[in-house]
A and B are shown apart, each in its own frame.
Chain A
């Protein structure tokens, strides 16, 4: 069912685009300042429920802050952390993987041993460990997530380069006098694009969930910055009195991650001929 692949890519892409629009245009889209406290309106339920107010579509939190505005601003952190991690981890992982796969020998031994050490940690644990010692902060968070994710790119690119470097077009490029780095980055690396795109897409979904998990544990960005994870953590204390404080940020994470996973699934189906046969 080829239409399903494109359907997944379209729906997933649309959700990701929506996230990007929310993040970039947050000041224009958010009805209120996400930090503005209106204590007389604290714990207002969503608009459509009994006692809901037309002024607060998704209700307010325990300090009277507008939930909708906070969720819109929260998308900024998810998007920024997700994109930055994918870019940095992708760059580091792909470069090291390409060098290890293409040059082999010592380079491969060193990169493989370092990868093995990082692979020995579950990625969430690496992120928790780094944040526990470095403390909260967007920069620390991106670094922690980057250090926990680069190895995925490295492994896949190394494997692909190992196979690609034996192909005829690489031999031809070398025979024409192409230097190693030129052949590697001009001829070999573009052929890993499909795999890297798929890993990057799934990786972004994982990073967004991990960022939310770390913020939930109080190990993410500083508390004054609205994030979906920290909103969930704050709302947990009011779960029976004000369930909307946890339902909406959780839904925001779920829809975003679902959209990105859908996009990744669709891209994988399109790029992977083996899976195409299975369908």
Chain B
């Protein structure tokens, strides 16, 4: 069996385990979820009817089997808070979160990789210590506080950027993929592109800052590690210029680790979006999760958590496979 097939088969018990844990959560919750959702005004008959509709009157394992079957077919029923199909709600919100995660990743790369590489090349210099101090500050900053401070200074005091939403009210955008930046570019709608970009900058910077801090530190240690390899000494001994040694021999090898870490952090970005989207009232999956929790829409909460976990798991799996493809010395 090849690597891909082995990894996919090996991941099935893990995904079943994840789904079982998420399924169990609703059943260990104190109180009856139906009574909590329907409130005090609901009659016992209403509660009973809803329990039957949700299948909560069936044995636990039968309920889990139903949950799993629905998950496989993508039929999660309707959200009780929004009175819409769960898949439709997710489909509407997912592109916003993906767009936010992608722009955050770009911001993190633009800040972190040059800073980390430069710190390593000039290691033990003042700039190295300054760069690492900035990274330590970045790791320690609670991103929801950073978001609020950006809203206060850039949005409130300087009035430079919009503080909430995805696009300015009144600007029409023809949705193709749901990714506003891409859709507006394809349609040649530059006012919409500019507005979407402005709305993305603060949340993306907030979400990307913690990642940038982590990647800066990893880039630095990865470059330092490569700089001590024999082939780098050989390259210098051959008389190659320092520029060639850095670009062709050090960076290319150090990038393997950096790319891997970036891929692994993509999953973490998706979960980090829960807080960032709440701070900026950004209409993505994270914001939807918090709304479903507040409304005690347990079914929607369950599906969203399952979706986050499976996405995170699949991204990690793909990165693992990518890793062995980039560096053939690594096998599973």
Identify the A interface with B (CB < 8 A).
Answer: 1, 4, 113-114, 116-117, 120-122, 124-125, 128-130, 132-135, 205, 209, 212-213, 216-219, 232, 236, 239-240, 243, 246-247, 250, 253-254, 257-258, 261-262, 265, 278-279
CB-CB under 8 A from A254, the residues of chain B are: 140-142, 145
User: A199 vs B110: C-alpha distance in the bound complex, in angstroms?
Assistant: 29
CB-CB under 8 A from A129, the residues of chain B are: 22, 25, 301, 305
- Beta-carbon contact of B289 and A246 below 8 Å: no
- Beta-carbon contact of B136 and A246 below 8 Å: no
- Beta-carbon contact of B272 and A124 below 8 Å: yes
Asked if B152 lies at the interface with its beta carbon under 8 angstroms from chain A, I say yes
- Beta-carbon contact of B140 and A205 below 8 Å: yes
Q: Which of B18, B129, B270 contacts A120 (CB 8 A)?
A: B18
- Beta-carbon contact of A133 and B144 below 8 Å: no
Pairs A–B under 8 Å by Cβ, sample size 30 = A4-B129, A113-B14, A116-B17, A117-B17, A120-B15, A120-B309, A120-B316, A125-B309, A125-B312, A129-B22, A129-B25, A132-B305, A134-B28, A205-B140, A212-B142, A218-B294, A219-B293, A232-B148, A236-B279, A239-B151, A239-B152, A240-B152, A240-B156, A243-B152, A246-B145, A250-B149, A253-B142, A257-B140, A261-B139, A278-B224
- Beta-carbon contact of B148 and A122 below 8 Å: no
User: A239 vs B22: C-alpha distance in the bound complex, in angstroms?
Assistant: 36
User: A125 vs B293: C-alpha distance in the bound complex, in angstroms?
Assistant: 13
CB-CB under 8 A from B323, the residues of chain A are: none
User: A128 vs B288: C-alpha distance in the bound complex, in angstroms?
Assistant: 13
If A113-B13, A132-B301 touch, whether A125 touches B136 (CB-CB below 8 Å) is no
Q: Which of B13, B136, B289 contacts A261 (CB 8 A)?
A: B136
- Beta-carbon contact of B142 and A125 below 8 Å: no
- Beta-carbon contact of B144 and A213 below 8 Å: yes
Asked if B313 lies at the interface with its beta carbon under 8 angstroms from chain A, I say yes
Within 8 A of A (CB), among B94-148: 123-124, 129, 136-137, 139-142, 144-145, 148
Asked if B216 lies at the interface with its beta carbon under 8 angstroms from chain A, I say no
If A261-B136, A262-B136 touch, whether A216 touches B144 (CB-CB below 8 Å) is yes
Within 8 A of A (CB), among B14-51: 14-15, 17-18, 21-22, 25-26, 28-30
User: A130 vs B309: C-alpha distance in the bound complex, in angstroms?
Assistant: 13
User: A261 vs B132: C-alpha distance in the bound complex, in angstroms?
Assistant: 12
Can you list the 6 inter-chain pairs with the closest CB atoms, starting with the nearest? A250-B145, A122-B271, A258-B140, A117-B17, A133-B29, A257-B140
Size range of the interface on B? 35 or more
Residue of B nearest to A130 (CB): B25
User: A122 vs B156: C-alpha distance in the bound complex, in angstroms?
Assistant: 33
User: A217 vs B268: C-alpha distance in the bound complex, in angstroms?
Assistant: 18
The smallest beta-carbon distance between B215 and chain A, in angstroms, is: 16
CB-CB under 8 A from B272, the residues of chain A are: 122, 124
User: A209 vs B138: C-alpha distance in the bound complex, in angstroms?
Assistant: 13
CB-CB under 8 A from B17, the residues of chain A are: 113-114, 116-117, 120
- Beta-carbon contact of B152 and A258 below 8 Å: no
Given contacts A122-B271, A217-B274, A257-B141, 20 further A-B contacts (CB under 8 A): A4-B129, A121-B308, A122-B308, A129-B25, A132-B293, A132-B305, A133-B25, A133-B301, A135-B30, A209-B142, A217-B275, A217-B278, A239-B151, A239-B156, A246-B148, A246-B149, A253-B142, A261-B139, A278-B123, A278-B224
CB-CB under 8 A from A240, the residues of chain B are: 152, 156
- Beta-carbon contact of A250 and B142 below 8 Å: yes
Q: Which of A116, A133, A213 contacts B14 (CB 8 A)?
A: A116
CB-CB under 8 A from A213, the residues of chain B are: 142, 144, 275
CB-CB under 8 A from B279, the residues of chain A are: 236
User: A246 vs B144: C-alpha distance in the bound complex, in angstroms?
Assistant: 11
CB-CB under 8 A from B205, the residues of chain A are: none
The smallest beta-carbon distance between A227 and chain B, in angstroms, is: 12
- Beta-carbon contact of B148 and A250 below 8 Å: yes
User: A219 vs B290: C-alpha distance in the bound complex, in angstroms?
Assistant: 10
